[in-house]
Amino acid sequence: MAEEKVVEAADPTKVYVANLAWAVSEEELSAFFAGKGFKLASATIFMRRGRSAGSALIQCASAADAEKVLSLNETEYEGRALTLRADRGGTKPAPAGEKKAKKPRKEKAEKDGEDGEAGEKKKKKK
């Protein structure tokens, strides 16, 4: 069954960061940007199968700060050239409480008809 998705609009205060080393933590990423003069509201490292996916979404205090952070595109960090771009929004899994309820399964007798007609038809085909 496909997982329900929620579409998010782009947030002008968020910047997508790619090409991170797997060992980089959220605290280290925040410290890197603080060293460049930017105070982040948050930094979230994306995880895949229990380890870093090598990308993150950082949230700046303002849209103006986010524009300034984008100037750090191709800056080297931990031996890698970071790729930064403005947040494009996207999809994410729907919160558990907002998923559509599953339709109740019909009972076999209800599917086949109360008198079992479908079962008799199957027997005749064999």
The mean of the pLDDT values for the chain is 79
Average pLDDT value for residue range 71-91: 90
Task: State the pLDDT at residue 15.
Answer: 93
Output the CA–CA distances (angstroms, integers) from residue 12 to 55, 67, 74, in the order listed.
18, 9, 20
DSSP 8-state symbol, 33 = H
This prediction has a pTM of 0.62
What is the per-residue burial (b if ≥16 Cβ within 10 Å, else e) of 39-78? ebeebebeeeeeebebebbbbbeeeebbeebeebeeeebe
Degrees, nearest 5: CA angle 12-32-65: 25
**Residue 111: pLDDT above 80?**
no
